Amino acid sequence: MKVVMSSARRIGAALCLLVAGAPAVQDRDDREPTAAEQAIARAFPGCKVERTTAWLTDAERRRAGELAGAEFDASVVFPYVVRDKDGALRATAYFDTHRVRTLHEVLLVAVKPDGTVERIEVLAFLEPKDYLPRAA
């Protein structure tokens, strides 16, 4: 899938870190889903979502920057692991929040187990609609 949008490089950096997942810090089954989990649940109905935390090494951050063509300075990322009802990995989702011109947008980027992008959704876009990316 070809992504044509100004944030494609930043998204690429986050996506290349797919393999750097770690187990969630706490069991979160006993509370209401977050807005992020609700967005993923709408994208993947019937699947279980687990928020994980990945601490990146300097080498991983450098590699992400190389792949993105931009500096990648985050040392912690929060992938959301999506599993189907049988427990098989369905996707890993990431959220990208950044400024477009003067206001922010939030993207949901879902990556298939083979590393290809499955979907990108604009969840929030505070700029005028004229600045929205065109469909690929």
What does each of the 136 residues of the chain score in pLDDT, given as a tens digit? 333 434 444 444 444 333 333 333 344 557 787 888 889 889 999 999 999 999 999 999 999 899 888 888 899 999 999 999 999 999 999 998 888 889 999 999 999 999 999 999 999 999 998 888 777 6
Instruction: Determine the pLDDT at residue 100.
Output: 87
> What is the rounded (10 degree) CA torsion for 5, 78, 92, 73?
40
121 touches 132 (CB < 8 A):
no
Cα 49 to chain centroid distance, Å, stands at 13
| Dist. CA 125–CA 132, nearest whole Å | 8
Strand bridging mode 76-77 / 80-83: unpaired
The H or E element containing residue 65 is helix 58-68
List the beta bridge partners of residue 109. 94, 120
The H or E element containing residue 62 is helix 58-68
| Dist. CA 78–CA 68, nearest whole Å | 18
